[in-house]
Amino acid sequence: MALIVGLGNPGAEYDGSRHNIGFEVVDSLAEKLSISFDPDNGLYHRGEGRFKGQSVVLIKPTTYMNRSGKAITKALAETDSRKSDCLVCYDDINLDVGQIRLRPGGSAGGHNGISDIIEKLQTNSFPRLRVGIGNDFPRGRQADYVLQKFTAEERETITKVIDLASDAILTFIRGGIDTAMNEFN
């Protein structure tokens, strides 16, 4: 079973923000797979479906970005999934707008949501899909930047990247992280 997690913040005020790109990618994937999300169960919205004969569970934590680890820990337990089958999709200021990178594990790279996941899972060995949001912000203004919406020009690029990222996830589901990395990195 593939467990696909998109990180973001719940609430309409965060819709379309750079920090919610993980939610947007998972929403795109849900549309491609005709999966709908169940209401919040206290820690996340969940949708289930199938792709190429494999069960797929989509998760959007409602715990806010910096506390994503608790939701993922619960989702792993409830689905009896392995950490290696759990792909986490999130924003990354270390990549230019429009870039994506898949990795089988690694550090948090300064991302508080990933830091919380690493702490709660007690490992940094879980697949992830980083979506570049750029880093065009003044020193000390990172929090404001990630909570802002994309510019109109960036949104054009991001719309294409969301589709590309959801295709990368389908490749991950079908062939694993190495196959997805070889095709999309």
Q: What are the tens digits of pLDDT across the range 169-179?
A: 999 999 999 99
**Catalytic-residue membership of 111:** no
Residue type at 58 in one-letter notation: L
Q: Which residues of 37-49 are buried (b: 16+ CB within 10 A; e: fewer)?
A: beeeeebbbbbeb
Q: Pick the more confident residue, 140 or 33.
A: 33
Q: Distance between CA atoms of 14 and 6, rounded to whole angstroms?
A: 14
Q: How confident is the model at residue 140 (pLDDT cuts 50, 70, 90)?
A: confident
Q: Residue 42: its pLDDT value, please? A: 82
**Which DSSP letter does residue 90 get?**
E
Measured CA distances, 26 to 30, 134, 135 (Å): 6, 20, 23
Integer Rg of the chain from CA = 15
> Tokens 């696909």, residue?
4
Average pLDDT value for the chain: 95
Residue among 9, 10, 19, 117 flagged as catalytic: 19
pTM of the model: 0.95
